[in-house]
């Protein structure tokens, strides 16, 4: 496949360059999506999430209100926030798989268009070798089995 030889028009060569850059970008997108699917961030337990994300909320709720009311609000909001966190993890898996399908489709479409615009041409020697191997295989399959004498 000759993409940039002098026999092709300038527009054809520019189109090939654009498609090759697009193809490489699509392969990169597939690689990034696969990495995101298989190398996942650690999932926090509720106690870890509470220590990490809800500790600043506790000081906000504690200011100016009685301690009993703030403890209830703090726990309720932290539980709700953790539920959102878990929901976002599930959404992330769905979005990653959707992105993988889109990226793979992109690779197939761009690769097919490159092959369509630049068909692979075989040299005469390659065609002759291919014909010989095909005829050898078909001749072997047509050979009659030998009779066994009893």
Chain segment 4-24, per-residue pLDDT in tens:
777 777 888 888 899 999 999
Question: Is 23 a domain residue?
Answer: yes
Residue of 13 and 67 predicted with greater confidence: 13
Question: Is 1 a domain residue?
Answer: no
Question: Is 129 a domain residue?
Answer: yes
Question: Is 149 a domain residue?
Answer: no
Q: What pLDDT is recorded for position 66? A: 47
CA torsion angle for 51, 57, 63, 66 (degrees, to 10)? -70
The boundaries of the domain holding residue 85 are 10-142
Residue of 130 and 79 predicted with greater confidence: 79
pLDDT in tens, 89-109: 888 888 889 999 999 999 999
Q: For the chain, first and last CA: distance in Å?
A: 58
Question: Is 86 a domain residue?
Answer: yes
Structure tokens given for 139: 């001749």
């Amino acid at each position: 496949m000759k993409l940039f030889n002098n026999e092709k028009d300038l527009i054809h060569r520019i189109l090939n360059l654009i498609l090759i850059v697009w193809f490489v970008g699509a392969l990169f997108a597939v690689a990034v999506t696969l990495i995101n699917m298989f190398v996942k961030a650690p999932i926090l337990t509720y106690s870890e999430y509470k220590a990490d994300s809800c500790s600043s909320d506790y000081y906000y709720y504690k200011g100016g209100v009685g301690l009993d009311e703030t403890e209830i609000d703090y726990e309720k909001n932290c539980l709700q926030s953790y539920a959102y966190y878990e929901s976002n993890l599930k959404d992330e898996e769905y979005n990653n798989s959707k992105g993988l399908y889109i990226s793979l489709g992109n690779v197939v479409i761009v690769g097919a268009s490159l092959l369509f615009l630049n068909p692979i041409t075989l040299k005469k020697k390659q065609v002759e070798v291919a014909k010989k191997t095909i005829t050898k295989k078909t001749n072997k399959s047509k050979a009659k089995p030998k009779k066994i004498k009893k």
